Chains A and B, each alone.
Chain A
């Protein structure tokens, strides 16, 4: 089974802090994704990566950046956290090529105070 691990289940940070959310997958998947999930808004794509050092903006990239230095790890960075970035963050991975389901981690619930 594919395992996608997000380093923290719950995280509390302060406004203006630089925040790192980490995601690791163990299936040598090419594609990795970061979403945020908010009540009534569903899952919205922040950034995705289809290879090491490659990244593309999703639908809501403002205020975020990402890093993919190794194939198994995809990091989401909040450059200067703001209260409107309080959310559930979900990481997913997917083997490359053709239509396949994305596999999700259990999420990081981030609160910005």
Chain B
């Protein structure tokens, strides 16, 4: 299991660079995955989702990649901007979960000007 701590892992990137945020999941039955962004003082905001019948999905400046073989999910942000600074969560669900999501602990993205 994951260790519990007060501080989230942090990814620091230069403004304009691409960011890659990674997430490992453990439930091989999971078939739906979501990325959320949470800015300070706000609730999680939906970014992009992907179903297990796909391995890649693109949105505006974001791409989600799914590797079911190694149970790994990643979020790529192109041309990272200061407004992208936030905590990012991955979440997973499966067919029998009654729409419940299991969330990762989160990663802080810090964008350097």
Contact = CB atoms under 8 A, between A and B. Distances in A.
A84 interface: no
Contacts of A48: 98-100
Nearest to A91: B43
Interface stretch (A14-22, A64-72, A74-82, A97-105): A97-105
Interface residues of B, number: 27
Contacts of A103: 46
Interface in A41-92: 41-43, 45, 48, 50, 56, 58, 90, 92
B34 A101 contact: yes
Contacts of B101: 102
Nearest to A105: B43
Given A94-B99, A102-B101, A43 B89 contact: yes
Contacts of A102: 34, 46, 99, 101
Contact of A104 (B4, B43, B98, B99): B43
A42 B100 CA distance: 15
A99 B50 CA distance: 10
A55 to B, nearest CB: 12
Nearest to A95: B99
Nearest to A101: B46
Contact of A56 (B7, B36, B98, B106): B98
Interface string B88-113: 01000100001111011110000000
A88 to B, nearest CB: 9
Nearest to A2: B46
Contacts of A99: 31-32, 49, 51, 93, 99
A25 interface: no
Contact of A40 (B6, B45, B49): B6
20 contacts: A39-B6, A39-B7, A40-B6, A41-B4, A42-B103, A43-B44, A48-B98, A90-B43, A90-B44, A92-B43, A99-B31, A101-B34, A101-B46, A102-B34, A102-B101, A104-B36, A104-B43, A104-B45, A105-B43, A106-B42
